[in-house]
Structure 1
Amino acid sequence: MSVDRLLLIIEDDAAFARTLGRSFERRGYTVLLAESLDQAAEFLKQHSPGYAVVDLKLNGNTSGLACVQMLHKHDPEMLIVVLTGFASITTAVEAIKLGACQYLAKPSNTDDIEAAFGHVAGVADVELTSRSTSIKTLEWERIHEVLVETGFNISETARRLGMHRRTLARKLEKQRIK
């Protein structure tokens, strides 16, 4: 199978994955759908996709960052876009360090993702803001930093942050980007 237009989508939301897959198929891609790190690893034994879309948080609190690392190790030239409903600077930096070419917050559509595949090089003339970071943003980024450290284990994250697990769960649910 040609890697030119072969796309691997690693997403645990089956309906979203199917919709995204069909949209990419209409654009001429051959699409493989995986729901987990293990399933993606099985696909890589037989296929060499040139593109991948990875959800940051998979079922069972599995981090999509592990998928990014595996995909990049398999093929450093693969263009990997990370999608997340839990965007943070910490996870964005880690995703790029591990080999992703772009990091997009949900909701993102096929146009956004395809543009991200084409926008691999950085842009030096991005407008810088003079607005300082709010306390809520700093709290949110710290929560995500600890979530990444604990492999998205909510109980351990709450313990490390010194808060009740239910309080953390409520904060995460409030901030979720749908």
Structure 2
Amino acid sequence: MTDNTYQDAAASANGTEGELGPDPSLLIVDDDVPFLKRLARAMETRGFNVDTASSVAEGISKSKSNPPKYAVIDLRLGDGNGLDVIESIRQRRNDTKIVVLTGYGNIATAVTAVKLGALDYLAKPADADDVFNSLTQRPGEKAEIPENPMSADRVRWEHIQRVYENCERNVSETARRLNMHRRTLQRILAKRAPK
């Protein structure tokens, strides 16, 4: 039995071939290793053939050697930006369905990810069902509106985080751009994200 025949048989047994198609290859790139392992296991149970990477360099290397049909990529990685992995995949395969994950919302980065060919943009912690639904949505389908949208405090926090990242994590410059006292900004940055 060849690898492809085995993959087809496994997908048919799981009842996922109709949703995933004949190529269920999935690359997950995330530097949060416990999350990466959990998501990989969850996606395997849903019929994907999962490969993982925990850095931009590893993600690019794996996308060059075996471009996947599906990809889940974290934007903020220890050694760079997940957008580089998306570009690497797109250079080799233009039919890959890509979902982008991030720990904080950033509209500008989301727009860039979509322009590079990302299918969806999910805030972490996204669960396996959200990721699966995003990867398997049909063209033109719209994602459901969340029952619990972000609170005003969370939106404010996300905006501060975006400006902070755009200022290359320079507290003084961020405080100046936000017209905020530096110590106030430091207190906000030291706290956890509001729900």
TM-score normalized by the length of structure 1? 0.75
3-state DSSP of counterpart to 1:108: coil
3-state DSSP of counterpart to 2:118: coil
Contact 1:91 1:144 in 2 (8 A): no
Post-superposition offset of 1:145: 5.8
Q: Which amino acid aligns with 1:175?
A: A
TM-score normalized by the length of structure 2? 0.69
3-state DSSP of counterpart to 2:98: strand
The structure 2 residue matched to 1:95, chosen from 104, 107, 113, is 113
| CA pair 171-123 structure 1, distance change in 2 beyond 3 A | farther
| CA distance in structure 2 between the aligned counterparts of 1:63 and 1:34, rounded to whole angstroms | 13
| CA distance in structure 2 between the aligned counterparts of 1:14 and 1:74, rounded to whole angstroms | 26
Q: Which amino acid aligns with 2:173?
A: R
Contact 1:91 1:145 in 2 (8 A): no
Residue 48 of structure 2 corresponds to 29
Residue 7 of structure 2 corresponds to none
Percentage of pairs with the same residue: 30
Q: Which amino acid aligns with 1:27?
A: R
Post-superposition offset of 1:63: 1.9
Post-superposition offset of 1:146: 6.5
The structure 2 residue matched to 1:106, chosen from 118, 124, 147, is 124
Bigger Rg over Cα: 2
The structure 2 residue matched to 1:11, chosen from 20, 25, 30, is 30
Residue 71 of structure 1 corresponds to 89
Contact 1:68 1:98 in 2 (8 A): yes
Contact 1:17 1:33 in 2 (8 A): yes
* Structure 1 vs Structure 2 CA RMSD: 3.3
Are 1:86 and 2:101 an aligned pair?
no
Residue 57 of structure 1 corresponds to 76
Post-superposition offset of 1:122: 3.8
Structure with more relative contact order (C-alpha pairs < 8 Å, separation 6 or more): 1
The structure 2 residue matched to 1:144, chosen from 148, 162, 186, is 162
| CA distance in structure 2 between the aligned counterparts of 1:165 and 1:120, rounded to whole angstroms | 48
Post-superposition offset of 1:124: 7.1
| CA distance in structure 1 between the aligned counterparts of 2:143 and 2:77, rounded to whole angstroms | 34
Post-superposition offset of 1:143: 4.7
Q: Which amino acid aligns with 1:43?
A: K
* Unpaired stretches in structure 1, ≥5 consecutive residues: 128-133
3-state DSSP of counterpart to 2:99: strand
Post-superposition offset of 1:42: 1.5
Residue 154 of structure 1 corresponds to 169
| CA distance in structure 2 between the aligned counterparts of 1:91 and 1:52, rounded to whole angstroms | 17
